[in-house]
């Protein structure tokens, strides 16, 4: 049970596995006004950057769950580096259906709402772990601009236009789910660049070190087409943000 190898190759040097910079992640933590001791559950936590930095900066405690053994190794190393191993823990497993042992003050899924078969299902999953008055964090893509054709849709890693919603419609969905949106921090084109362009460098370095690997041809093709695809489609049409929700 693990992520596809191509994904971990592209993001092998990433601490944050979505189009957020460390500055935006810090902005989100400050915006929430987290009290020391707040418990956090982070589903599909990746390399644990949110939990580790918030444990350092806001003295939260928490648990991260992720399917990637490689990313969890990085999460444990980051917790040690920041001196927060007494406040955070990481579990290897499929976050789909995972519910905290005890209710938490913050339940999060940033950029992996496939664990709930979409945003609506992920909200319902996070609710099962949330303490009364707690906050859910959902990281989700949305259309910045109406896609002009099917090539644009596919260039943004979607199958149909309906795979994503415009930002107003995404917030309306949260409302229909019985949630109030109480905060949001949105990625911008620069943070998209930092996320995606770093994948190109990771891939190139991996190819230089593993030119005869069975995945080398696939990764060469990915590197050859990825930069133009990003600037033509993803950078222009696709937004991404983290939305803080509370039950109404």
For residue 1, what pLDDT is reported?
A: 64
Which residues of the chain carry a pLDDT beneath 50? Answer: none
Query: What structural domains does the chain harbor?
Result: 5-247 (3.40.50.150)
What does 165-221 look like in DSSP terms, one character per residue? -BHHHHHHHHHHTTEEEEEEEE--HHHHHHHHHHHHHHHHHHHHH-TTSTTHHHHHH
Query: Do residues 213 and 103 lie in contact, with contact meaning Cβ atoms separated by under 8 Å?
Result: no
Provide the angle, in degrees to the nearest 10, between the axes of the packed helices 189-209 and 216-229.
160
pTM of the model: 0.96
DSSP 145: S
> Tokens 């053994």 correspond to what residue?
69
């Amino acid at each position: 049970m693990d992520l596809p190898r191509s994904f971990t190759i592209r993001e092998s040097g990433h601490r944050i596995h979505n189009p957020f910079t460390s500055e935006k992640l810090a902005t989100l933590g400050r915006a929430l006004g987290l009290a020391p001791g707040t418990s956090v559950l982070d589903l599909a936590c990746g390399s644990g950057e949110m939990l580790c930095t918030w444990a350092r900066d806001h003295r939260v405690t928490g648990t991260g769950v992720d399917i990637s053994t490689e990313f969890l190794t990085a999460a444990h190393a980051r917790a040690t580096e920041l001196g927060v191993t007494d406040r955070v823990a990481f579990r290897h497993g499929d976050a789909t259906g995972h519910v905290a042992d005890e209710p938490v003050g913050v339940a999060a899924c940033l950029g992996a709402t496939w664990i709930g078969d979409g945003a609506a299902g992920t909200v319902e999953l996070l609710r099962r772990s949330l303490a009364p008055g707690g906050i859910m964090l959902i990281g989700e893509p949305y259309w910045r601009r109406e896609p002009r054709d099917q090539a644009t849709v596919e260039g943004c890693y979607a199958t149909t236009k309906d795979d994503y919603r415009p930002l107003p419609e995404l917030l309306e969905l949260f409302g229909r789910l019985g949630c109030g949106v109480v905060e949001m921090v949105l990625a911008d084109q620069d943070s998209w660049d930092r996320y995606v362009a770093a994948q190109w460098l990771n891939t190139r370095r991996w190819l230089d070190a593993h030119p005869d690997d069975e995945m080398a041809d696939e990764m060469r093709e990915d590197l050859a087409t990825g930069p133009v695809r990003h600037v033509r489609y993803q950078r222009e049409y696709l937004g991404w943000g983290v939305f803080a929700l509370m039950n109404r």
